[in-house]
Amino acid sequence: MRLVLLGAPGAGKGTQAKKLIEKYRIPQISTGDILRKAVADGTPLGKEAKVIMDKGELVPDKIVLGLVEERVKQNDCKNGYILDGFPRNTAQAEALDKMLNDLRMPLNSALSVDVPKDDLMKRLTGRRTCKSCQQMYNIYYSPAKKDGVCDKCGGELFQRGDDKEATIKRRLHVYDAQTAPLINYYKERGILKTVKGIGSIDEIFKNVCTILESKK
């Protein structure tokens, strides 16, 4: 399965991707996670990306495309992968199509996770992530048992630098302007699927699996 997860910031792409990788045993390729790791490692790319990410803007296509191309060619992607947060605009989508056509491994589906705008701000301001195992929590919807401590591994929970209200507003604007048009892009190519991203995480996951496994 070669899948693109589409959806606004906070729609739950990362949350559903974590469950999909367990069920289908294929890797999640999150350009956001790759970039955050480069930022944390203090690499030259990370330093350049940090300034852009803190503003809620998109990192230049050339950088992101290079990262994805290198990643999809790795051995663990042979049986498929989940692209989370990529592509982010039409230029990235076209470059991805070309890259995958050259490899003779086109996408199977693009799944759009649909969440009303009003829910997104609370999901993002409330998000907390474990520094050690990346488990995600939400102080409003799914808090850790002990404040600031991961239930799973005891690691420290942190808030992402771009989950501040002003940056979130910018990210939502950038999504509307640059990423939302990809819904039509994939619809026109006949591979778009859509799931409602409200309700419990497990309920949504059940629907995601049904939709992905349906032949239609």
Residue ranges that bind ligand AP5, judged by CB under 6 A: 7, 9-15, 31-32, 35, 52-53, 56-59, 64, 85-86, 88, 92, 123-124, 126-127, 136, 138, 141-142, 162, 171, 201, 204
Residue number with CB closer to ligand AP5 (140 or 216): 140
d(CA 167, CA 56): 5
d(CA 133, CA 125): 20
Residue number with CB closer to ligand AP5 (50 or 192): 50
User: Which residues 6+ apart lie within 8 Å of 79 measured at CB?
Assistant: 1, 25, 26
Residue tagged 């049904």 (tokens): 210
For residue 209, the minimal CB distance to ligand AP5 (Å) is 15
For residue 133, what are its two tokens? 């195992």
211 closest CA partner among 197, 188, 200, 79: 197
Is 104 a residue of the active site?
no
Q: Which of 2, 50, 71, 88 is catalytic?
A: 88
Residue number with CB closer to ligand AP5 (92 or 112): 92
**C-alpha 40: how far from its chain's center?**
18
Half-sphere exposure of residue 91, counting CA atoms within 13 Å on the CB side? 9
Q: Which of 19, 122, 160, 170 is catalytic?
A: 160
Residue number with CB closer to ligand AP5 (57 or 114): 57
Is 127 a residue of the active site?
yes
For residue 58, what are its two tokens? 């998109």
Q: Which of 13, 18, 36, 128 is catalytic?
A: 13
For residue 31, the minimal CB distance to ligand AP5 (Å) is 3
Residues tagged active-site: 13, 88, 127, 160, 171
